[in-house]
Amino acid sequence: MRPEILFPLFADAKTLPGVGPKTLPLFERLGVRKVGDALFLPPTGVIDRRLRPSVQGAMEGTTLSVRVVVLSHSIPRRPGAPYRITVNDGSLDFVLVFFRPSPDWLTRILPVGAVRYVCGKIEHYDGIAQMPHPEVIDPEKEDAPDGFAPVYPATAGLGQKVIAKAARTALDAAPDLPEWLDPAWMAKRGWPSWHAAVTRLHAPEGPGDLEADSPARERLAYDEMLSHQLALMLVRARRRRAKGRVSVGDGRLQGKVRASLPFALTGAQERAIEAIAADMATPHRMLRLLQGDVGAGKTLVAFMAMLIAVESGGQAALMAPTEILARQHHAGLGALAEAAGIRLAILTGKDRASVRRATQEALEAGEIDIVVGTHALFQKSVAFADLRMVVVDEQHRFGVDQRNELADKGQGDGVGADILVMSATPIPRTLALASYGDMDVSVLDEKPPGRQPIDTRMVSLSRYDDVVDSLRRAIANGARAYWICPLVEESDVLDVAAAEDRARVLAHTFGEGRVVMAHGRQKPGEKDAAMEAFRTGAAQVLVATTVVEVGVDVPEATIMVIEHAERFGLAQLHQLRGRVGRGSARSSCVLLYQGPLGETARERLGVLRETEDGFRIAEEDLRLRGAGDLLGVRQAGLPRMRVADLEVHGDLLAVARDDARLIVNRDEALETDRGKALRVLLYLMERDGAVRYLGAA
C-alpha cells in the first residue's frame, strides 16, 4: 500500500491539464504515465523571459521578452513567403516573422494598435531586427513574462506550454516529504531538500540550476541512484538469507584438471576460484558475477566451480543461450571432464526424443555430474538428483526468472543451487554497479600466458582489392577468416555492404565451397551448419553479421575483417576482434572503414588499435558514446535513469552503493525514522522489487 502522502503523484497522467486522448500517448512517449512522472522529466535548458526595455542592441541569437505595440501587417504576396508584422517597443521598430500561418489567427492575436508581450530569438535581416515565431502574451489575459522558463524535451505534436503546465501541476501536487538523507551529508554537498530540489528543476532561477553539477540536480540524481542501489541491496539481502547447500570440495577433481593443463592459472583465475569456493561453503545461496575480458579464461574458472559441486557429492549445470554455444561448451569441456574422470552430458531442445529422455533419466538418477544445455534445462520435465551449482553464460540473454527457475531445481523446500553468471562483455564500473549491484563480482583482468597479441590495422575501403588479395594468399596457406558486415541484405538507404551480397562476391573470388554465411535471419539449422563448416575447416571464410560477436570459438581462425568498422560500437568491435587470437598462432584484425572518418569514429577506431584491454575499451566507449547509448544497446538489465546521468554522476553512484549497504546492514526492515522516510523514497521511485520485499518482511 503506497503511503497516503504520495497518492496525488500516482494519479493517472490523463488527469493533468491539457492531457486528453490525443496527447496522452505523446506524454507516455516521454515516460509520463502518471502525475508524478512529470516531476522526473528534467528540462534540457531555459529561456530567459525577463522583460527587457527594448531589442535595440541585442546580440544575434539572443532570446528576450519585450512589450510592443502592433503597427502593421504585411501579408505575403506569394505562397511560402513569410508573413511580417511590424511592432514598436518604444525605442525601435522591428518585425515579427511567421511562416505559413493562418492570417485570421494572426489578426486575432496581434490586432493593429494592440499592446502585447512577445518573447523570442532575435535575428537580423537586411539590417532590421526580427523575431521569428515569437510567443505572444495578451496582458489582459496573462501576466507579463518574467524569470526563466524551462525548456522540456519535445515530441512531435506536444508543445512546450502543455508540458510546462503538466510539470507545474505535478509540482503543485508534490508534498513536502520526510527527509531520508543525512543532514550532515546534505550540508557538506550544499544540497537542498527534496521538494526544494524538484522545485528548482522546474522553476529554475537561471541556466545554472539545470546543470548536471548544480546542487538541485545532484540531489535528485543521488536520490534516484540511492533508491536503485537500496532496492538491489534489499533484494540481495533476501537472496542471501535464502537457503543453499554447503558445498565444500576436496580438490581431487580440480587437481586432476590442473595437472592436465599445459599452463598455470592466472592470479585472477585463482582469486575468482577462491572467492567462489568460499561462497559455496556457506549455507546461503551464492549469486556471483564472473566478468572477464575476451580470452581471460572464464569457462575454466566456471568448470572448476562446477567441480567443487561434484566433489561435494552434487551436480552442476551450465546454461548457454544458443544450441551452438552449448555444443561448443560441451566440446570444449570434454577433455577437461575426461581428465577429471567425471560424467559430462549435453541437453538441448533439438535432441531426439529418445536421447533427451535418456539424458533426463540419467540426470535424475545422479548418473551425470555436469550437464551443458540451453533453455531446455529449466523445463519442468528436467529433474536433478542433487543440483548444487548453476552457471549461466551470457546472462543478458536470459531473464532473471529463467535463471532462478533452473537454480530452484536444487533440493527443494526453499533450498536452491548456487548461481554463477558469466559475462564476456566488460562493463564500465559505473554501469556494472547499476546493473549487477545485487551480485558479488569477480573480475578476470589477466589473460592466460601464451596468448598472442592481435595485429589491428585500419584500412580504407578504397583498398578493398588489396585486402581481398592478402586474404586469398592467406587462405591458400590454410588460414581461416571471418568477414563481418553490418547488414544482412543490400540497402537502398545505407551505402554499406550486406552479408548476402559480400558472401556471393567472396564465393566467386575464393571458390564456392570455401565461403559460408551466417546471420540472424537464417533458420537456426542453416546458421549452425555454416558455423560448424567453418569450425571444422570445411569452409575457410565465414561471412557474418554480429551473430559471431560472443561465444563462437574457433582457435584456428586467425583473420578478422570488419567491413564498415566505423558503424560499429567500440565494445562491439572489441568483441568481434576477440573471435581471433584464441590459439597460439599470430592473428590480425582489419578495420575496413569508409572515409572520410568523423572525429569520434577516428578516435574510436584508434582506441581499438592502441589496446586490447576490454575494460579500458569499455570506459572509452562510455566516454565516447555516453551512458544513454550504452544503456540503449545493451540488454543487461541496466536501469533507465530519469534524472541521473551516469557519465556525470558516476562518483555519486559509488557513494549511493556504499550508503545503501550501510543502511541495509543497520536497518534492513527500514523501521527507524530514517528507514520509514527511505520507504517513501522507494515508493516514490517505484522500486517494486524492494517494495515487495518490505511487504513480505
Q: β-pairing, 83-88 with 63-74?
A: antiparallel
pLDDT of amino acid 1: 57
What DSSP string describes 279-294? HHTSSB--EEEEEE-T
User: Which one has a higher pLDDT value, 539 or 581?
Assistant: 539
Helices marked H in 242-293: 252-260, 267-280
How far apart, in whole angstroms, are the C-alpha atoms of residue 149 and residue 50? 9
Where do the H-state alpha helices sit in 496-626?
499-510, 524-536, 570-577, 599-610, 614-625
Query: Residue 634 has what pLDDT?
Result: 35
Taking residues 301-325, what's their average pLDDT? Answer: 92
667 in helix, strand or coil? Answer: coil
How would you class 476 by CB atoms within 10 Å of its CB: exposed for 0-12, middle for 13-18, buried for 19 or more? exposed
The mean pLDDT of 347-368, rounded to a whole number, is 90
Q: Please tell me the predicted confidence (pLDDT) of residue 49.
A: 86
Can you tell me whether residue 460 is helix, strand or coil?
Answer: strand
Task: Kindly state the average pLDDT of the residues 383-403.
Answer: 72
How do residues 615-673 score in pLDDT, each as one tens digit? 777 777 766 655 433 333 333 344 567 888 877 887 888 899 889 989 999 998 999 99
Phi, psi of 121 (to 5 degrees): -95, 135
Domains of the chain, with CATH numbers?
4-45+163-210 (no CATH), 50-146 (2.40.50.140), 219-241+656-696 (no CATH), 252-444 (3.40.50.300), 454-611 (3.40.50.300)
Burial level of 421, CB count in 10 A (0-12/13-18/19+)? buried
**pLDDT category of residue 139 using cuts at 50, 70 and 90:** very high
Q: Which residue has the cell 532496492?
A: 231
Report pTM.
0.65
For the ranges 178-187, 421-430, 522-531, the one whose mean pLDDT is highest: 178-187
Please state the length of the chain: 697
Calpha distance 334→15 (Å, rounded): 63
Question: What is the DSSP pairing of strand 45-48 with strand 148-151?
Answer: antiparallel
- Provide, rounded to the nearest whole percent, the portion of the chain with pLDDT above 70: 87
Q: What is d(CA 604, CA 568) in angstroms, rounded to the nearest whole number?
A: 10
Task: For residue 37, give the 3-state DSSP assignment.
Answer: helix
